[in-house]
Amino acid sequence: FFLEGRFPLDGETLSIGMICWYVIEIGIDIFFLVDIVLRYSYFTCSNHGQPIKDKVKIAANYRRTWMACDLLASAPFEICSLFIRPEGHFDVTVYSILRLNRLFRLARAPYYLRLLDRYLHEIFPRLNSAVVQVMKMFLLMLLLNHWYACTWFGIHRFVERNLHNTWAVVDGMATYSETVHKHNVYNDDIGPWFCYLRSLYFTVTTMSSVGYGDIRPYTLLETIHELLVVITGACIFAALIGCVAVVYLHADSRGEIAFKGKLRKLIDYMEFRELPKELQREIVTCFTNHWDSFEGLDFHKMIADLPLPLQLELSINVHRKIIRKVRGLRKCHVHVQRHIARKLFPQVCEEGEYLYRKGDIGNEIYFVLEGNVLVTTKTDDKLE
């Protein structure tokens, strides 16, 4: 996608640098041709979540979906440039324009981004999805800046060749000739890379702010182009800032800000209900200790979407310490241990807190992992 937009910056004749670029492009074309062959017969696809491994069905599915687009994007139309010679020699511009069919691969960009997302999470399981989204937005911003820079210079080179004042002429990169009544592409003392950097400088400053004014439009077409750049930049940067904000919020989802927010809501509710101060202090202490112990994570909510075998395996690994400590649980069969571990709920109790009072209905069984529990009875106003 980056290579196909650069043709306005190509020289008018072949050079060693351009030949190197063409070799890279041909290598990429060969890669995608091999990709088409493999997708037609070998790459497993899915239908409503069900993997398809039969070669005949894989080929039928590929023909029905992306085969036409991939073939169109890989068709070597640039071969026609060998026969299209406006001035009797090989025309670099015609060759580059005939390669623009590669941009049809943009239709596959969402698919490639999903693959990138999946592979990144396989390599880095704890990678924040918001970080991946920021990376995607940043890549999109780079791609748009590159394309806008190429089209900005392309307007000067192909559309406004006969105009006296274009942004490149005013910027000193090109010179208008009164003899032939048109300007050159760029002056002899600079090269295409300098032109690209100046064009990229304009698009970056325009998309990220309102521009610095040293490069500005002078014609109607240039003005329309700048309006598109400004509108695109406003949308992209708004989305990018939103993604960055999500990253910071997720980074603190179990941190100080999240804890204080939940605690503030709890205190406001208790004050609204006018609860006794002693009870409020006890609730705040219990909430704080529980947060310090588990950081606001609910184990059973996290594993709810997993299949039962994985829930059992995860539960026995999380609660293995209590299983080994309690003699009755330790002697149970491993399958029984797994099911019991899945039902365990951790609970933190403060000193002086009652677990059960006489007359309470006992629906739970407590296993003490750490600390002590005092069991007392009251007979004739005496504790035993």
Buried b (16+ CB within 10 A) or exposed e, 344-382: beeeeeeeeeeeeeeeeeeeeeeeeeeeeeeeeeeeeee
> Residue 196 CA to chain centroid, in angstroms?
28
**pLDDT at residue 231 greater than cutoff 60:** yes
Q: Which amino acid is at 109?
A: A
Q: Please report whether residue 185 resides in a domain.
A: no
Where among 66, 89, 108 does a domain terminate? 108
CB atoms within 10 A of CB 134: 19
Tell me if 44 is assigned to some domain. yes
Give the model confidence (pLDDT) of 70-86 as tens digits: 888 888 877 776 666 65
Range of the domain at 15: 1-108
Residue 31 within a domain: yes
- Of 83, 108, 133, the domain-final residue: 108
pTM beyond 0.85: the answer is no
pLDDT tens-digit readout, 103-143:
888 888 888 888 888 888 788 877 777 788 888 888 888 88
Residue 201 belongs to a domain: no
Domains of the chain: total: 2
Q: Each residue of 147-200: pLDDT tens digit?
A: 898 888 888 888 888 888 888 898 888 888 888 888 888 888 888 888 888 988
290 lies in some domain: no
CA distance 97 to 154: 12
Dihedral over Cα of 227, 230, 234, 237: its sign: positive
Q: Write down which residue in 108, 125, 151 finishes a domain.
A: 108
Q: Please report whether residue 246 resides in a domain.
A: no
- Whether 40 is in a domain gets the answer yes
**pLDDT (0 to 100) of residue 220:** 92
- Position 359 in a domain: yes
